[in-house]
Each structure stands twice: as C-alpha cells, then as structure tokens.
C-alpha cells in the first residue's frame, strides 16, 4: 500500500484483437474499483512476445488495447493505465522472481502446457517463466486485489506462493494479493468448441467474438455457434454450448440464468442464437464508437502512456529498491 488506498492490478496482453472473454472476464469489471482503490491496468506487451508476434501488429494492438481500456470505461484520471515495457522494473523484478520460482511449479502450469502444444515450434523460456513475470507485475505495486478470469487462477496462486516464499526468507516485503474472479463472467468458452476457453489468438475466427467485430460478424458467429442435438434452452453439464450462450446472454443483460431460460422457453435454437448475437452487438456498439474516437487521437493515447509509465514507475521503484536491498545488491549514486 503506497497511499491510504489499497491497490488493484491487472493486465491484458496485446496478443490479438480482444474478445468478449477478455471483456466479460476482465476489462468490463475493472472500472468498478476506480473510486475505492489505486488501480493499475497495464497493456502486457512483454507477456505477448512469449508467442511470436508481427512487430507492426503488436505496436498497433498496444495502442488499441489502451484505447479499449478507456472505451470500456476506465478513466485515465482515476486509473494508472500504462504499457508494461515502459516500466523496466517489471523485467528486473521478473528476473529476480525467476530465481525464487521452482522448475516443478512452472511445469505444472496448465497455460504453459496448452500454449506449448499450440506453439510446438517455439516453446521458449519466456513462455515457461511467464508466471514469474506476472508475479512481478502484481507484486511491484503491493497489490491487494487482482481482477482476472478464472483461467488465471493458477498463475495467481503461484504468485501468492512466490511472494510468501520471498517474505519468509527476507521478512515482510510483498503484500500477498487476492484474486477477484466474478463467477459468471469468469470463463467464456469458444463458440466452436465450448469445452475450450475463448482465446484471442484462436485461429478459427468463428470460435471467437471480438469486441470490435461488426454487428453482422457478431450475429453470424453466434448463428454458427455449436450447440447440441437437443432443443431445450437450459443450462447443464451435457449442454456446454447452450450453457455458454446463456452465460454470455445473462452477462450482457444482467438477467439471471432462470430468467433467461424462462424467456426462451419453447423457442428454437436459431431464435435464441440470434437474440444472443443482437444483444452482444448492441452492448458493444457504444464501446466501438468510443474506441474509434480514441484511435483517431494518437497523441492523446501517447500522453496517457507517458503519464501512466511515470506514475507506475514511481511506485514500482520503491518495491524494487526494497527487494534489491534485501537481496544484498549494492547501490551506487549516479
């Protein structure tokens, strides 16, 4: 804790065009903390390069992700919005925490296993040590709360273990963070394979609804969504496709599962999928309009990046200095 306010930290990788999974599971929930907490939201470009990126695309998506943060309701006056690589303390603490993270722990991470399978020709050390860098992101700001989707729960638990281990060896250094995972928005599944998480880097465009997709594309993707052979619009373990669509619908409308099931009682899958598509497209339309305005003003986005990096660094360096001192690193005056 730096001021009297407790700290919230989260980030999104600019590794693809953001999906409604990123929106419902993470970004949309971020602004709720702005008044009560000191919030840091970063564009995690250093994490993005654990998978090969086209440089021009990475640059463009970094601006776009920042613009989307603002378009989704994050006021830059109330939140510290910044780009991870603009604050070198992340890389520094990341390396230090690599030395306090065990090979066995990293080997157990399901995201590492999934991404290794997807990128078999590029299983690099960064992909493996991703969780230590994520721990550094969080611990640098003495974070109390980390709003993330449920897919990040395992990384967050490892972050807590790393922090606890460091504290035990060197005395109280890091605040141990808690995850904040909203129940229903926690995991949005692929529209083509509802057993798999919806991911922005999925190569099957029909599986993924992106925040910036056109209304026609959104509706088309929902119309093609995989369901099951039954005809009832109810949730259940054997109805993964319909359950996912109901989950998306309730998240966008604020209705309960029971209310949604009642609304579509007796209706066909076609009508239901169209309603989910239209609801989603209409909810995202103001976000898109705001995004377009922001992207037309690069100078404004760059000013936010610069202010955010300065503010983030100011607080990150305090933790980093403390860590270095505890480790026994020497210091010089420049």
Q: Measured over all CA atoms, what is the biggest interatomic distance in the chain, rounded to whole angstroms?
A: 74
- For ligand AQP, give the closer residue by CB, 12 or 89: 12
User: How many angstroms separate the CA atoms of 223 and 122, rounded?
Assistant: 35
Name the minimum Å distance from CB 276 to ligand AQP. 16
What angle, 0 to 180 degrees and rounded to 10, lies between the N-to-C axes of helices 298-327 and 89-98?
Answer: 40
Q: Of 8, 26, 46, 156, which one interacts with ligand AQP (CB under 6 A)?
A: 26
Residue number with the smallest Cβ distance to ligand AQP: 25
Of 56-64, 124-132, 147-155, 209-217, the window that binds ligand AQP (rule: CB under 6 A) is: 147-155
How far is C-alpha 136 from the chain's CA centre? 16
* φ and ψ at residue 325, rounded to 5 degrees: -60, -45
Q: How many helices and strands in the chain, by DSSP H and E?
A: 14, 5
Choose between 13 and 319: whose C-beta lies nearer to ligand AQP.
13
State the Cα angle at 305 between 9 and 139, rounded to 5°: 25
- Asked if 50 is part of the footprint of ligand AQP (rule: CB under 6 A), the reply reads no
Rounded (5°) CA angle 186-189-190: 155
Task: Describe the chain by its helix, strand, coil percentages, rounded to 5.
Answer: 55, 10, 35
Binding residues for ligand AQP, how many (CB under 6 A)?
A: 22
Query: Which residues are known to be catalytic?
Result: 115, 197, 200
In angstroms, give the least distance from the CB of 76 to ligand AQP. Answer: 19
Is the CB of 101 or the CB of 152 nearer to ligand AQP? 152
**What pairs with residue 9 in β-bridges?**
40
Given the complex with ligand AQP, which of 188 and 323 has the nearer CB atom?
188
Choosing from 154, 201, 206, 253, the residue that interacts with ligand AQP (CB under 6 A) is 201
Interface residues with ligand AQP (CB under 6 A)?
12-13, 15-16, 19, 21-22, 25-26, 44, 148-149, 151-152, 186-188, 197-201
């Amino acid at each position: 804790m730096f001021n009297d306010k407790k700290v919230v930290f989260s980030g999104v990788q600019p590794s693809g065009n953001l999906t409604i999974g990123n929106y419902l599971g993470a970004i949309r929930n971020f602004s709720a903390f702005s008044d009560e907490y000191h919030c840091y939201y970063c564009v995690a470009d250093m994490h993005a390069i654990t998978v090969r990126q086209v440089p021009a695309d990475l640059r463009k998506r970094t601006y776009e992700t920042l613009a989307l943060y603002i378009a989704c309701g994050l006021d830059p006056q109330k939140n510290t919005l910044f780009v991870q690589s603009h604050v070198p303390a992340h890389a520094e603490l990341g390396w230090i925490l690599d030395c306090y993270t065990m090979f066995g722990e990293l080997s157990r991470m399901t995201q590492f296993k999934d991404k290794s399978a997807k990128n078999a020709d590029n299983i690099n050390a960064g992909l493996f040590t991703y969780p230590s860098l994520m721990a550094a992101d969080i611990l640098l700001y003495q974070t109390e709360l980390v709003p993330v989707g449920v897919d990040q729960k395992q990384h967050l638990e490892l972050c807590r273990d790393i922090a606890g281990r460091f504290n035990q060896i060197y005395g109280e250094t890091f605040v141990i963070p808690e995850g904040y995972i909203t129940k229903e928005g926690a995991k949005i599944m692929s529209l083509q394979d509802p057993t798999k998480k919806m991911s922005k880097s999925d190569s099957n465009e029909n599986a993924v609804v992106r925040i910036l997709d056109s209304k026609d594309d959104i509706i088309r993707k929902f119309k093609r969504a995989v369901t099951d052979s039954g005809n009832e619009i109810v949730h259940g373990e054997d109805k993964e496709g319909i359950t996912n669509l109901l989950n998306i619908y309730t998240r966008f409308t604020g209705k309960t599962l029971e209310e949604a099931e009642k609304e579509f009682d007796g209706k066909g899958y076609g009508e239901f999928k169209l309603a989910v598509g239209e609801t989603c497209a209409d909810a995202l339309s103001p976000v898109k309009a705001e995004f377009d305005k922001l992207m037309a003003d690069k100078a404004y986005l760059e000013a936010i990046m610069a202010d955010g990096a300065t503010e983030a660094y100011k607080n990150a360096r305090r933790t980093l200095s403390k860590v270095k001192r505890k480790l026994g690193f020497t210091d010089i005056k420049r």
